[in-house]
Chains A and B, each alone.
Chain A
Amino acid sequence: VTVPRTSGAGAIEAALAASEAFSARVSAELDEAAAFPAEQCALLDEWGLPRAYVPAAMDGPASPDKDPAGLFGSLRAVARRDLTVAWAHGATFDGAAPVWLAGTLQQCRELARLVREGVRVGSSMFELEDDFFRGVPTAARTPSGWRFEGTARWLRNAGRARLLCLPARTEPGGAAAAESLFLVDTDRLAPGTWEWLASEPTHGLRGAGVGAIRFSSAEIPDGSLVGGVGEAGTITASARRLFGSTSRAALSLGAGEHALQLVLDFAAVRAMHGTTLLRLPLARRTLGAAAASLALAEAASRAFPALAGLWVPALVQDVIDELAEVLGVRSFLTGQHAHGAFQKLDRDHRTLLLTGPPAAPEDARRLLTVLAGQAAAVDEAVRCRASELLQPGYRAPDEPYERLLARWETGIGASV
């Protein structure tokens, strides 16, 4: 494998295509064994993906919408191969985001250095305000810092991360304002004061293990607090809006594109009724609408970066469900058609979808209304698809979908 010298989505994409470690066969084996994609993550480190997780300017809040290092495109490219790998590696970006937002300059610089070196950051898997998914340890003030007690559950990168960005209860009681955010460096914890707990098997994203960490009188140094005491909730919410939403939309879109490519590969060779499945009008319409939905997801990610993370996964799951119908039994078999890649990405994506709350209906409507009405800025297929989703019973003409599908057929659709 040639290691690209430049960073950014294009270089990552080229490296992915050439790497056996990112083949469908290896992806299936990892999933079957529920194994962490360690080799794949190391390769992504080597190819410079962690640089995309660090905002260009460290002396102030980054503006993720500029996407200087190609974060969106890079994660999307990885997700197009294997959503589990993208989820596992991208956890570092989501785990670091609250520090970029609320950390001190020193905290940011130190974290930036570690992330660039390939240190993994873990954070909570579920973006939900549900007590069931919020194992929160307590943090008691000590002269030199904080003493952690208890278990933090549902962590991404558990067992793999050196750094963990997690809330701890700094005041007794259950109120959210009683929780503060910490960046815990497990390398600096005394042995015997903490341990990883076994990970939970999940429907999808199986290799990226949902785990937990247990603290027993673990001494956390003073400089670990991120932001002010009691600010965990507000910081986390802002980080998800400003950073997490973008990465989530990128992962989802990549998985949706993976699904469409797998189904196109099948439809192009499947003989049916004297032609191929891909040439049957009904299938073409379904595939064209799927391509349009993905283009719509991309447009939404650009126009509504803070909302896209909530909205895109639901749209993409609908796309995957409709594509599964075209793929038929191959959407269900583990060993067939690219080593069962479709059933894996379906489970992976549904798991991703369920880790976060859906967009509010009024927000979704606003987003669709804007995208349905924009004239020059977005593709006609995007406008048509947005209109279809807005109005039950409305059927857009075939032509814009046909044009988009033709782009996919010539192999450039996924990198518009």
Chain B
Amino acid sequence: VSSTTVPAKEPVDVLEERFGASADPANPVGTAAVLAADRRGELLAAGEDLLDEAGLGAHFVPTELGGRFDGLEGLITVLRAVVRRDPALALGYGVSSFMAGVNVWTAGNEAQREDLARRLVRGAKVACAYHELAHGNDFTRAELAAAPGPDGQLRLEGRKEVVANLRRAEALVLFARTDPAPGGRSHSLLLLDAARLPADRVRRLERFGTTGMRGVPLGGIEFTDCPAPADSVVGVPGQGVRTALRSFQLTRITLPGMAIGLVDSALRSALRVSPPGAYREGDAGQRVLAEVFADLLLADVFSTVAARCLQTAPALGSVYASAVKALVPAVLIDAVYRLSILLGPRSVLSAGDRGAAFFEKLLRDVKPTAFGHASRVSCLSLLLAQINGTARRSWPTGHSAAPSTGLPPETFLPRQPLPALRFEPLAVVSRGADPLSASLLAGAADHAADAGDPLERRIAAQAAAYVAELRDLAAFAASLPPDEQGPTASAPAFALAARWTGVLAASACLNTWWHGRAEAGCGGGFAEDPAWLLGAVHRLGAHLGRHRDPLPAEFAAPLYAELARRFAEGLTFDLDRRPTGA
């Protein structure tokens, strides 16, 4: 054991070094190579080699199984570095493997977990085969059937479509109907070895073409009376939906969290096309860039808090993961669209060095952030199903205070140590607990008094506004009739769920600020400038439709200055503020 005091390089730093400078035209994993691969509709081979060598697969495997996965925050940091270079590479190399993995880590037996862990650490691809075009994100209606055959084996019948890496995957996690009855107990998960599927019972469907993420090979598979070993079932038969709802809490935070890297690169690309000097001080262009920066920070703070929450309060992920997947992708997509307006026609030129060809690719690549994995509406549905119980149990209604307690402080301290991640406590529903909202109430009460200077007063005012929002929400939600709590609910009922995501995001921002301030020496510099907080909360209000005001100059100016500084110094625009060659 070395006794040196030099801190070990983090995996993300190693990855950044390997990727080198994006702008270098000779870099085999630089932007020119990324764009060429996109035009060919291929994943960047040199990028895949690099990630193989870096052992990215191990980051999908829990440490107790020999991998390097010990929490979402670390994984997101690593994946975000790949996304900054090429979102398609990140998705196509292995995010689908991670999606398959979380099912097995959550519900698989020892042998299955070890089998999958070995494969992923080796760098193998594993497909996560849930999707059927006829049912989309509504996987409770999936039709592909696995029925017991006369020989005790399962017989597979049906097809899966638009599944990443299906053709080259060594193994697949297959979501199959094991009971014809409707409802949530009719499906099971199967872990299948692709090499052992009888060739005459399996048909590979033609690749699905897409407008963005063009390199990601999306395939389909059709089984015809195909045998599968009975012991391939992952977890308890009939519990597939339950396993998905528990394990996908991880991926519903990971995907939006890593997609922040896309906006990071979109911002950098925009600044390359129109460098900071191109904008006059305080003009609309500077303001839009500052707004997008604030959008990025908002997205990062919310997804980081949710990621950490899975370790400090793992039983509550059903609400917080859904809230992140409902809110963050919309913020990110809007940010990229706003940048495209700012860049104007440059953003639609897909070749040449005069335009922003990389930006044009990002404009296409950002789209699946919305519908991929789980749509905004499907996530709002999950929230809507829990809003009434949560309001009655945990929110302040009338004059009564909220009974529940807030989250442990370390939830709001990015990069600080956390309890180990555990899969067992992941729960399908949160049973009415909402400690993130409770943390908002507690923080607002604690900091109402110390509002001495004008900025503290503005922060306190924002906290008070979202406390009032929660109270207002509680009044409606607590009396929401049962027929308004499901997917057939009215638009105003869905709006309540969307407002809930706003309260949770506001709490994440405000508490990250309050706890960061309390922790002496934490952050420092820009992190201690309230511009980021007030900017992020201002943008949150815009995304929620609470107002349509431009970002006030007093926040836009310092945010833009910080953005320009990071651009000049080659630093990322997220909370990490880390050196990047992107």
> Quick one: which of B162, B210, B351, B491 contacts A282, CB cutoff 8 A?
B491
A203 adjacent to B363 (CB under 8 Å): yes
Q: A201-B349, A202-B349, A393-B545 are in contact. Are A347 and B367 (CB under 8 A)?
A: no
CB-based contact A285/B211 at 8 Å: no
Known: A282-B377, A392-B548. A333 touches B371 (CB 8 A): no
- B209 contacts A334, C-beta separation under 8 Å: yes
Give the nearest-CB partner of A128 in chain B.
B344
Interface contact A281-B351, CB-CB below 8 Å: no
Given contacts A281-B489, A354-B345, contact A332 B368 (CB under 8 A): yes
Question: Assuming A332-B368, A350-B340, is B546 touching A273 (CB within 8 A)?
Answer: no
A393 to B549, CA, bound (A): 13
Does B363 lie within 8 Å of A201, measured CB to CB? no
Which listed segment binds B: A158-166, A296-304, A323-331, A407-415? A323-331
Determine if A358 and B546 form an interchain contact, defined as CB atoms under 8 angstroms apart: no
With both chains docked as a complex, state the minimum distance between the C-beta of B272 and any C-beta of chain A, in angstroms.
14
A354 and B376 form a contact (CB under 8 A): no
Interface string of B536-551 (1 = CB under 8 A from A): 0000000001111000
The reply to whether B344 and A275 contact each other, CB–CB distance below 8 Å, is no
Of residues A203, A317, A353, which shows the largest number of chain B Cβ atoms within 10 Å of its Cβ?
Answer: A203
Q: Does A343 contact B (CB under 8 A)?
A: yes
B354's partner among A130, A132, A204, A285 (CB-CB below 8 A) is A132
Q: Is the CB of A328 within 8 A of B208?
A: no
Chain A residues lying within 8 Å of B31, measured Cβ to Cβ, are none
Kindly state whether residue B229 has any CB partner on chain A within 8 Å: no
User: Is A281 touching B209 in the complex (CB atoms < 8 A)?
Assistant: no
**Contacting pair B367 A332 (CB below 8 A):** yes
Task: Find the B residue at minimum CB distance from A275.
Answer: B488
- A280 in contact with B371 (CB, 8 Å): no
Within the complex, the shortest CB–CB distance from B354 to chain A, in Å, comes to 7
Q: Which residue of A lies closest to B347 (CB)?
A: A354
B69 within 8 A of partner (CB): no
Q: How far is the CA of A273 from the CA of B385 in the complex (A)?
A: 14
B371 touches A285 (CB 8 A): no
Query: How many of chain B's residues touch chain A, expressed as a range?
Result: 35 or more
Q: Is B212 an interface residue (CB 8 A)?
A: yes
CB-defined contacts of A336 to chain B, threshold 8 Å? 133, 208
Which residues of chain A (117-139) have a CB below 8 Å from chain B?
Answer: 125-126, 128, 130, 132-133
A280 to B381, CA, bound (A): 12
A373 within 8 A of B: no
The proximity string for B residues 113-132 relative to A, scoring 1 for CB distances below 8 Å and 0 otherwise, is 00000000000000000010
- In the bound complex, do residue B345 and residue A331 qualify as a contact, i.e. CB atoms below 8 Å apart? no
Decide if B346 touches A132 in the complex (CB within 8 Å): yes
Contacts A336-B133, A340-B211 given; indicate if A203 touches B348 (C-beta within 8 A): yes
B370–A324 contact, CB under 8 A?
yes
- Cβ-defined partner of A203 (8 Å) among B347, B377, B547: B347
| A46 close to B (CB within 8 Å) | no
In whole Å, how far is B435's beta carbon from the nearest beta carbon of chain A? 29
User: Closest chain A residue to B207 by CB distance?
Assistant: A335
Which residues of chain B come closer than 8 Å to A333, judged between CB atoms? 162, 208-211
* 0/1 string, B202-219, CB within 8 A of A gives 1: 000000111110000000
CB-defined interface of B470-510 with A at 8 Å, one 1/0 digit per residue? 00000000000000001111111010000000000000000
Q: Judging by beta carbons under 8 Å apart, are A351 and B368 in contact?
A: no
What is the bound-complex CA distance between A328 and B354, given in angstroms? 33
In the complex, number of A-B residue pairs with CB atoms less than 8 Å apart: 124
Q: How long is the Cα–Cα vector from A295 to B487 in the complex, in angstroms?
A: 28
Asked whether any CB of chain A lies closer than 8 Å to the CB of B138, the reply is yes
Q: When the two chains form their complex, are residues B138 and A355 in contact, meaning their CB atoms are under 8 A apart?
A: no
- Nearest CB in chain B to that of A274: its residue: B488
Measured between beta carbons, the chain B residues less than 8 angstroms from A275 are: 488
Q: How far is the CA of A335 from the CA of B376 in the complex (A)?
A: 24
**Binary A-proximity of B319-360 (CB < 8 A = 1, otherwise 0):** 000000000000001000100110111111111101100001
> Is there an interface contact between A329 and B136, defined as CB atoms closer than 8 Å?
yes
Residues of A within 8 A of B363 (CB): 203, 350
A392 contact from B210, B346, B350, B547, Cβ within 8 A: B547
CB contacts under 8 Å to A, within B189-227, are: 208-212
- How far apart sit A259 and B343, CA to CA, in the bound complex (Å)? 25
Q: In this assembly, does A200 line the interface, its C-beta being within 8 Å of a C-beta of chain B?
A: yes
Contact B370 A335 (CB under 8 A): no
Kindly report which residue of chain B lies nearest to residue A330, judged by CB atoms: B133
Does A3 interact with chain B (Cβ within 8 Å)? no
Closest B residue to A351 using CB positions: B348
A325:B209 contact, CB within 8 angstroms? no
Nearest residue (CB) in A for B378 is: A328
Check if A203 sits within 8 Å of B350, measured CB to CB. Answer: yes
Within 8 A of B (CB), among A127-171: 128, 130, 132-133, 154
CB distance B348 to A329 under 8 Å? no
Given contacts A132-B354, A201-B351, A336-B208, contact A325 B138 (CB under 8 A): no
Say which residue of B133, B345, B487, B545 sits within 8 Å of A272 (CB atoms).
B487
- Beyond A271-B134, A328-B375, A344-B211: 20 further Cβ-contacts under 8 Å? A130-B345, A200-B355, A202-B348, A202-B350, A203-B347, A273-B488, A282-B377, A282-B491, A324-B370, A325-B370, A329-B131, A329-B136, A329-B162, A333-B162, A346-B211, A347-B211, A351-B348, A354-B345, A355-B345, A358-B341
* A–B Cβ pairs within 8 angstroms, 10 of them: A126-B345, A200-B352, A273-B488, A280-B487, A282-B377, A329-B136, A334-B209, A347-B211, A392-B546, A393-B546
Q: Which residues of B contact A (CB under 8 A)?
A: 131, 133-134, 136-138, 141, 162, 208-212, 333, 337, 340-341, 343-352, 354-355, 360, 363-364, 367-368, 370-372, 375-377, 486-492, 494, 545-548
Q: Which 6 A-B residue pairs are closest in the complex by CB-CB distance? A: A334-B209, A203-B348, A285-B491, A343-B211, A328-B371, A201-B351
